[in-house]
Chain A
Amino acid sequence: MFRFDRRLLQHFDWVMLLMLLLVGGMALTNLYSSTYITDTGASSIFFKQLLFFSAGLVLILVVILQDYQKIAKLGYALYGIILLLLLYTLFFVKSIAGSQRWIDLGFFNLQPSEPAKLVLILVLASCYASSDAVGGYRLRDLIKPVILTALPFVLILLQPDLGTALICAIIFVSMTLYVKLRWATLGILSGSGLMCAFIGWKYLLKDYQRKRIETFLNPEGDPMNHGYQIMQSKIAAGSGRIFGKGFMEGTQGHLHFLPERHTDFAFSVWAEEWGFAGSLFFLSCYFFMLIWGINIAMSAKDKFGSILAFGCVMLIFWQAVINLFMIMGFLPVVGVPLPLFSYGGSSLLTNMLAIGILMNVRMRSFPTSQ
């Protein structure tokens, strides 16, 4: 069962590890600055995240030791656990700031919607890899994946956590498009998607969620509230100019003008303190990591590995794009963190696991000894 080949070590994905360490290092540096308290120095938030990052590295080590095929066997079991956890948060957890997202584990507040995304990728990948669709998937072939997505999607939406729910939907769409789809299916899917969006806007969205979108479309209409966050974020990034204000010197962040500066708006702090040059370096590393991930998906030795790797890349990619667009004023504030960069244990561990899975797929895409 457990066969660890020395040749696996030979194919160890040093590139991905290097990128992860670079991105993670910058994330921790940034967190140190953004949560620094003048009187007491580095905050406990920083040390917590450092701990999570180390734990994440250990987790990656554990994950890459197992063949991803074996991990996949756990897929549905994990899926079931996650659904239970999501239900638990919905019924038994007191709401924090209007939503029920976290389960208190004593040492750590677990946000089950984070691993839910990764587990969804796992089961979707198994699902698509198992079904044989010559000439592309028909609508009825998609019933199973749609249900697999819809369950966590609804549960997360009810928390309510629009951002994460949307990510689940986007992951589903990306992965479905990755496998072969009939044109008719695509047409029906996108048509009903638009329909859902319309109905959702009309009846399902909470007031504050609608407000965020309205504010985004007309920021001047509401300058002191929701538009304020985006405005301050743009001021933070913009005022960094070419070389930034310097580490720990960002005024927007340190003087609390920037909201959520260690979570959703962490990158604004980076852009403010390191400027365009620093942002270019960071984003180059970040996107290279994603491109490397696509490379892994392309070179995977099997269908499941490829879909799984692709799903993991999409998980990070879409969250990153939504977060960056939000920070730069292209999108409303939807509460999506920048994976591997924003503070948050559940999110960090989930995304590091995704990286671990990518490394796993990479290591096993080479012919190994019999």
Chain B
Amino acid sequence: MKNIRKANRKRPEPLLDAERRRDPGVTKLTHRDDSDLSGYKKKALYSLAIIIFFFAVVMTRLWYLQIQQGEEYSELADSNRVRYLEIAAPRGNIYDRRGREIVTNRPSFNVVWIRENNKIDDEWLKSLTKILGQDASTLLEKIRKMSGVPGHIPVRLAEDIDWETVARIENNRMYLPEIKIEVVPLRIYHYENLASHLIGYLGEINKKELESVDRELYRGGDLIGKMGLERLRESDLRGEKGRDYMEVNALGFEQRNLKGDEPLPGRDLQLTLDVELQKIAEDAMAADKRAGAVVATEVNTGRMLVLASAPTLHINEFVGGISHKAWQEMLNNPLHPLVNKLVQGQYPPGSTYKPVTAFAGLAEGIVTPDTSFYCPGSYRFGNRTYRCWKHSGHGSVNLKRALAESCDVYFYQVGQRLGVDRLAKYARMFGLGSESGIEMEHEKPGLIPTSAWKKKRYGKKWMEGETLSVAIGQGFDLTTPVQLALMTSVIANGGILYKPGIVEQVRDPDGKKVESFTPEILHRLTGHGKNLKLVREGMIEAVNSRHGTGREAQVDAHGIIVGGKTGTAQVVRLKVYKHLKEENIPYEYRDHAWFTCFAPGVNPEIVVTVLVEHGLHGGSAAAPIAAKILNRYFEDKMQRQQGKTGSEEMSPGGRIFFSQDLLEDTDPPPAEDGDENAAVPSPQQNQPSN
């Protein structure tokens, strides 16, 4: 009140003046007022200009923000509000030729932390350690490792947790903000380590791989194929990741789900492989703790039915990174599980090479089926004596017997007459000495020597004596098990070298075929059908005659006739071991055992090749494994045909056809000599051999 009175007292005149001004009588005051007001008008005009100027500035700024930079700010606004979680795509399944599942997926649950605020609360950590059963330090270490990674990428705290843990996390959702359960498909191997070298395994993508892949498709922590088809067919199998988009507010709480992208599953692979046969092969190798390889292939297409390298890898040890210890153990394992022996193992073919020498001899007219050489047990060439494996000698030997009983002396002489270069020319036609192009990693080419090769490699002239070794598959000759299977196929199918096929079909998730197997011919031998038939006959003898070296491959059921060839690949010729009994030679110095065969005898459809490392004898170590596979193959085939055509049986008919037609130009069967295994009696005599 006091204030007001004071103000009133002090109140200046102009208020009164102004009141008075309305009175036209008070001219003086009005005049003064007017002159002042004109000054104000000028100022008011200035301020008008200032106001308009600021309006222009504000509008220009808005133009810049909203129109010039509008797009950029829109993106920033979206990145503010939109978060996404990647959803891993289920990888393509892998099936065998009959559609049996080899590798599929199962859902696994991971615990992830979405770092909205990037703050670690003590209570939060406590509940997490309790639920996950991990130390706080382990969790913090995982978080620390991810500290350099952009914040929107979740930190994986636990992997493949069980249902109970999932339930506990869901129940404690309130106390675990920013914790989510991520569903990631994981591989299931229905046959454990079956065909592990072929199928391969997955592993977490490493730094080096991340540098070379498309960063749109992969990020740290993703799984990628590390070996085998998982690696080679990565682009087919991986599919496309999906994304879950959600709108979040400034505190990171989900407001609503936006439309997301479903993951696109990877393409399925159907292999040409037959899991049943593969399993027989692997089990047989594992039963005797053998190292080696088994190949089975369709003669007329090149489809691979069995591709086994023994011992198999333990895939589970590789998943999630192999430990140093396990790795060292594998490196030091005398059975060399890491080597894919199918294409990376190069072995002298030994006697399995003799059909090639025989064919070359026939093709070049050096021998006829009736040409005979006398084998006294050794052959003298130059100033050296080349021995036959049968020291007592085979006596007079023609082509068929030479193959059946694997007479070295016969092939020394054929080889000597051919010369190394002519022999090599034919060997190459059978697919030896170069990569087959099979869909496997690090395939080795093997070696078929020529004189030019030796000159180049060693700078030395080819010695004719070396030809004799090469002719029986020793010396410089090196082949892989797959190559030998191809060679046998060429003999069996009348001269066609097919590229080996592994993948029957690649299918999109909707079932559409994107790739189908078609036989691919790498080389065709023409005009030699008769010669190849002669070689086949020799190989049939080898299995079926009394003195044949591959008798253990006889298929006991269904009367299927098998033609095959055993082989022994010399590992080392050390004098020390020469006089030891075989079973006393240390494992690593024992010879490798080969057996390669085709069946049936007429119109062969399957070739099986078996290599047993340090197995000593093809006949005893390798042939029985081939026999098991052939048995199952034909059994299965019969069952299928019975299923289709009722009781009509094809195979026995095949045998009748065989025995009447094919065997009629061999010698008549002699009397049974008590060997109950001899399905086709041996035409020849001589001492028993092993």
Contact surface of A with B, Cβ cutoff 8 Å: 69, 72-77, 79-81, 126-127, 129-132, 174, 177-180, 232, 234-242, 251-252, 255-257, 271, 275-276, 279-280, 283, 287, 290-291, 294, 297-298, 300-307, 310, 313-314, 317, 321, 324-325, 328, 330, 367-368, 370
Contact = CB atoms under 8 A, between A and B. Distances in A.
User: Which 3 residue pairs are nearest across A and B when measured between Cβ atoms?
Assistant: A130-B12, A76-B7, A238-B73
Interface of B: 3-4, 6-8, 10-15, 17-19, 21-22, 32-33, 36-37, 39-41, 43-45, 47-48, 51-52, 54-55, 58-59, 61-63, 65-67, 69-74, 76-78, 80-81, 247-251, 255
Contacts of B61: 328, 330
B70 A302 contact: no
A255 B80 contact: yes
Given A302-B33, A306-B40, A72 B51 contact: no
Contacts of B21: 301-302
Nearest to A129: B14
Given A76-B3, A297-B44, A235 B77 contact: yes
Contacts of B52: 287, 291
Given A241-B67, A271-B66, A310 B47 contact: yes
A332 B33 CA distance: 42
A306 B37 contact: yes
B304 to A, nearest CB: 58
A284 B71 CA distance: 25
B38 to A, nearest CB: 10
Contacts of A310: 40, 43-44, 47
A77 B3 contact: yes
A76 B4 contact: yes
10 contacts: A72-B15, A76-B8, A235-B76, A235-B80, A238-B65, A239-B74, A242-B70, A257-B250, A283-B55, A304-B14
A297 B33 contact: no
The DSSP consensus for interface residues of chain A is: helix
A251 B66 contact: no
A238 B44 contact: no
Given A310-B40, A321-B54, A256 B73 contact: no
Nearest to B58: A324
A107 to B, nearest CB: 26
Contacts of A74: 4
Contacts of B74: 238-239, 241
B65 A328 contact: yes
B543 to A, nearest CB: 79
A240 B66 contact: yes
Given A324-B58, A370-B22, 4 more contacts: A130-B15, A178-B47, A234-B65, A235-B76
A243 to B, nearest CB: 10
A287 B80 CA distance: 33
Main secondary structure of the interface of B (DSSP, over half): helix
A129 B71 CA distance: 52
Contacts of B67: 241-242, 276
Contacts of A241: 66-67, 70-71, 73-74
B40 A276 contact: no
Given A238-B70, A330-B61, A255 B81 contact: yes
A69 B19 CA distance: 8
Interface centre among B11, B12, B66, B71 (most CB of A within 10 A): B66
A321 B255 CA distance: 35
* B15, B21, B255, most chain A CB atoms within 10 A: B15
Given A283-B58, A328-B61, A73 B44 contact: no
B44 A257 contact: no
Given A287-B52, A321-B54, A180 B39 contact: yes
Contacts of A127: 12
B4 A77 contact: yes
A303 B249 contact: no
Contacts of B250: 255-257
Given A131-B12, A235-B73, A241-B74, A303 B40 contact: yes
Given A77-B7, A239-B76, A294 B18 contact: no
Nearest to B68: A238
Given A130-B12, A302-B33, A255 B66 contact: no
Given A80-B4, A239-B73, A69 B15 contact: yes
| Residue among A126, A237, A303, A317 with the highest chain B CB neighbour number at 10 A | A303
A241 B77 CA distance: 12
B33 A303 contact: yes
A80 B40 contact: no
Contact of B255 (A237, A240, A255): A255
Contacts of B39: 180
A238 B40 contact: no
B51 A290 contact: yes
Contacts of B7: 73, 75-77, 79-80
A321 B61 CA distance: 12
A64 to B, nearest CB: 18
A52 B17 CA distance: 37
Contacts of A298: 40-41, 44-45
Contacts of B251: 256
Contacts of A300: 37
Nearest to A76: B7
Contact of B62 (A77, A130, A236, A237): A237
B51 A294 contact: yes
Most B-side CB within 10 Å, residue of A132, A306, A367: A306
B19 to A, nearest CB: 6
B59 A283 contact: yes
Given A237-B65, A237-B66, A129 B12 contact: yes
A325 B54 CA distance: 10
A279 to B, nearest CB: 5
Nearest to B15: A69
A100 B10 CA distance: 33
B40 A255 contact: no
A73 B65 contact: no
A291 B47 CA distance: 9
A294 B73 contact: no
Given A76-B3, A310-B40, A255 B18 contact: no
A201 B269 CA distance: 73
Contacts of B11: 73, 76, 126, 130
Contacts of A130: 11-15
Contacts of B248: 255
A275 B62 CA distance: 9
B80 A73 contact: no
A73 B51 contact: no
Contacts of B48: 291, 294
Nearest to A77: B4
Contacts of A287: 51-52, 55
A257 B36 CA distance: 51
Contacts of A276: 62-63, 66-67
Contacts of B43: 177-178, 310
Contacts of A307: 40
A179 B3 CA distance: 26
A104 B136 CA distance: 49
Contact of A73 (B8, B22, B37, B73): B8
Contacts of A251: 77-78, 80-81, 247
A29 to B, nearest CB: 19
A279 B55 CA distance: 11
Nearest to A83: B3
A303 B37 contact: yes
A222 to B, nearest CB: 17
Nearest to B32: A132
A69 B18 contact: yes
B106 to A, nearest CB: 38
Contacts of A69: 15, 18-19
Contacts of B66: 237-238, 240-242, 271, 275-276, 279
Nearest to A279: B62
